[in-house]
Amino acid sequence: MDNVLNHIGIENYIFLSVILFCIGVFGVLYRRNAIIVFMSIEIMLNAVNLLFVAFSTYHQDANGQVFVFFSMAVAAAEVAVGLAILVAVFRNIGSIDVANLKNLKG
Amino acid sequence: MDTTLALVLILAPLFGFLLNIFFGKQLGKTLSGAIGTFTVIVSFAVTLYFFLNITETNQAIQVKLFDWIAISDFKVDFGFLLDHLSLLWLMFVTGIGALIHLYSISYMHDDENMHKFFAYLNLFVFFMISLVIGSNLLIMFIGWEGVGLCSYLLIGFWYKNQDFNDAAKKAFIMNRIGDLGLLVGIFIVGFVFKTIDFAELKTIVLAGTMNNEMWITIAAIALFIGAAGKSAQIPLYTWLPDAMAGPTPVSALIHAATMVTAGIFMITRLYFLFDLAPLVQDAIAIIGAITSLVAATIALVQTDIKKVLAYSTVSQLGLMFLALGMGAYEIAVFHVITHAFFKACLFLGSGSVIHALHNEQDMRKMGGLRKAMPITFITMLLSSLAISGIFPLAGFWSKDEILMTAFHGNPVLWVIGSLASIFTAFYMFRLMFLTFFNDFRGTEEQKKHLHESPALITFPLIVLAILATVGGLISLPGNSWLNHYLAPFFPNKEHIAHALGQTEYILMAIATVGALVGIGVAYAKYMKQNQVPGADATFTGISKVLYNKYYVDEIYDAIFVKPINALSNFFRDFVEVGLSAFVFGFGKVANELSFQGKKLQTGSIGFYLFIFVIGFCAIISYLFIEL
């Protein structure tokens, strides 16, 4: 079977992952809407998943691909919980701006 | 049988104490006093039984109740030792104790806390009995501490007067210093001999296998410090005169006849130890002699009738210690007994006078009481003659024995002791003349109420005066019942009877003449010239020094109390402040740290995340750089 890595080199996948991850990080850091922060987290997760799959193919080892399934399952659960929290937060303070969530101030 | 009786002997006063302390108020004054007296009489009766028993069988009775402490090979039993010495002691402790209880019924009748008084007196008798009959040093120590406590309670009995409370505290603290010595002595004895049982100790020492001289000497010194505290010897004697703040029966019972002789009892109990430490014996003799002289000189000018008697007691105790130091234990015991008789009588007599004058203790305001109080006068006169050492009263024999022993041991000590005796005769008759002769110097109001005391007061006086008169018969030179009786207690001692040679008769003559001179001077000064000591401020020169008791209290105050107070203040003002600054410093630092750390917790999620990412990046870069 033809290896996809023969057409596009592994380093490109790494670059793409790093770029996606950085986008995610900056999204988390700079956006104040909680939903977008969430999306940014998802982007980071998926960047890692992409890297998993790429290296899995590179090493001819299926473990990485299996791990991605777990990762996606956990991410789905996290989103469910996270969105539920957001709904609760919105009901309480009428906003989902993370800058307003300051009740834990010491 | 013996165990039961011994238990009755010791527990009867305790029972009286419990009854009086818990139900005294409901019982009423008469019943409360009767119970207190009766329990002591019970003890006296049991003692008498044992005493008659031992004079027949000559066998010491040992009562062991139970094992008390057992640590590997060190064992302490809880038991009593009823031997010749302890029974002799019990005879006069319970006997005089019973008389003084009887006296107190009348003397304390107007006091609202009479039941408490009897409770404390009973407690005192209980502890005194345990001190005397304990079979080992530890039980004796319990009694020793107990009588100290009762002494404290009774000196401060009229607690509303702050001076009396201070006197009580002073007595307690002074005693504590001595008690520490005793305790150290007990530890050393236990360490060296592996036992603190009197009988076992005696066996070990008399077997002669123990020659740990250094430790025995140290133990003897420590024990002597204990004895000096309890028996008011230099340098720990200042509490006894102040202890006169207590009611007069207390002065008679505790601070003249019984408790203050505990030190002499302890040294006699452990005579075999002291025999092994001749240096300590010499020290005891010297301290005893000096104490007797110093106290006698102070007594010369005191104006408080009880203070005179108090210093007289210290002086007589000094003579007893002189005898102890000379190794003449049975003579010391003899003087303890005769002294108990006449000094108890004198104190009770002074109590009778004070009672008649409504708590007036200043001899300058007495005088001429002879006619109003004939019984008190005659009994006190007999006792004064006895203490002055006039033939053939009790004091003559015992004091003479001590002086004779001193003469054979060390003439210097004999001179000191004789001087003290002459002074004794002088101050006792000064007291007598000022109190009972010439005209009454008190107020008209007091004069109207002058009366002889009731029978409950005069009866003990009469009994004690008779004893003070004939008490010397128990140990006549050459034919001493006392020496004979105590012989089994001193198995290793040659019975030294002073052969009555020419020297002895000369010594007796000197002592008698000395006493007569003392009385004569007092007569000339206070009877013929009718002098009365002036107000406190008029004392000059030596009298002033003597009147102020050589300023010993002031010296102690300057040497010990003030520096200790200064040290305490220093610790309070500087050391404690420094320490608390250090300790509180920890708290302050922690507080400051958390206060600053709190500022990090802004609650802003963005900020947290930012820190999180930075930190994460830092960790990652660190790992990569390392690798």
Q: List beta partners, residue B197.
A: B136
Contact B528, B429 (CB under 8 A): no
**Read out DSSP for B384-396?**
HHHHHT-TTSHHH
Q: What's the pLDDT band for B359 if we cut at 50, 70, 90?
A: confident
B380-432 residue pLDDT tens: 999 999 998 888 888 888 888 888 888 888 889 999 999 999 999 999 998 89
Is pLDDT at B308 greater than 60 in this prediction? yes
- In this complex, is the C-beta atom of B593 within 8 Å of any C-beta atom belonging to chain A? no
Q: When comparing pLDDT for A8 and A52, which is higher?
A: A52
**Interchain proximity A25–B604, CB inside 8 Å:** no
Instruction: Over range B345-370, report the average pLDDT.
Output: 86
Per-chain mean pLDDT for chain B = 87
The pLDDT of residue B125 is: 93
Q: Which two tokens stand for residue B72?
A: 């590997």
Q: What is the ipTM of this complex?
A: 0.76
Q: Name the minimum distance, in Å, from the CA of A82 to any CA of chain B.
A: 15
What sign for the dihedral angle of Cα B394, B395, B396, B398? Answer: positive
Rounded to the nearest angstrom, the gap between the alpha carbon of residue B144 and the centroid of all alpha carbons in its chain is: 9
- In this complex, is the C-beta atom of B600 within 8 Å of any C-beta atom belonging to chain A? yes
Q: Please report residues of A whose CB lies closer than 8 A to that of B617.
A: none
Q: What's the pLDDT band for B473 if we cut at 50, 70, 90?
A: confident
Q: What's the pLDDT band for B568 if we cut at 50, 70, 90?
A: very high
**Read out DSSP for B266-321?**
HHHHTHHHHHT-HHHHHHHHHHHHHHHHHHHHHHTT--BHHHHHHHHHHHHHHHHH
Q: When comparing pLDDT for B533 and B625, which is higher?
A: B625
The pLDDT of residue B627 is: 63
CATH architecture of A4-100: Orthogonal Bundle (1.10)
The size of the A-B interface in CB pairs under 8 A is 32
| Helix B84-107 × helix B455-470 angle, to 10° | 150
**Interchain proximity B613–A28, CB inside 8 Å:** yes
Q: Which two tokens stand for residue B125?
A: 């008798």
Q: Which two tokens stand for residue B100?
A: 């003084």
What single DSSP character describes residue B493? S
Is pLDDT at A106 greater than 60 in this prediction? no
Share of chain B above pLDDT 90, in %: 34
Is pLDDT at B495 greater than 60 in this prediction? no
Q: Which residue of A has its CA nearest to B594?
A: A106
Q: Please report residues of B whose CB lies closer than 8 A to that of A93.
A: none
Q: Please report residues of B whose CB lies closer than 8 A to that of A99.
A: 604-606
Q: Indicate the residue of A25, A99, A104 with minimum beta-carbon distance to B606.
A: A99
The full set of domain ranges for chain A reads 4-100
Q: What's the pLDDT band for B499 if we cut at 50, 70, 90?
A: low
Cβ atoms < 10 Å from Cβ of B544: 14
Contact B283, B325 (CB under 8 A): yes
- In this complex, is the C-beta atom of B613 within 8 Å of any C-beta atom belonging to chain A? yes
Q: Indicate the residue of B598, B600, B605 with minimum beta-carbon distance to A98.
A: B605
The pLDDT of residue B500 is: 67
**Interchain proximity A106–B606, CB inside 8 Å:** no
- In this complex, is the C-beta atom of A25 within 8 Å of any C-beta atom belonging to chain B? yes
Q: Which two tokens stand for residue B578?
A: 């420094």
B103-150 residue pLDDT tens: 999 888 888 888 889 999 999 999 999 999 998 899 999 999 999 999
Gap between the Cα atoms of B490 and B329, Å rounded: 9
Contact B331, B398 (CB under 8 A): yes
**Which amino acid would we find at residue B361?**
Q
B436-463 residue pLDDT tens: 888 888 787 777 778 888 888 889 999 9
Q: When comparing pLDDT for B216 and B601, which is higher?
A: B216
Residues 30 to 69 of A: which have CB under 8 A from any B CB?
A: 32
B37-90 residue pLDDT tens: 999 999 999 999 999 988 888 888 888 888 888 888 888 889 899 888 999 999
| Helix B84-107 × helix B114-133 angle, to 10° | 170
Q: What's the pLDDT band for A73 if we cut at 50, 70, 90?
A: very high
Contact B233, B293 (CB under 8 A): no
Contact B490, B122 (CB under 8 A): no
What single DSSP character describes residue B194? S
The full set of domain ranges for chain B reads 1-211, 342-538, 556-626
What are the respective helix, strand and coil percentages of chain B, to the nearest 5? Answer: 80, 5, 15
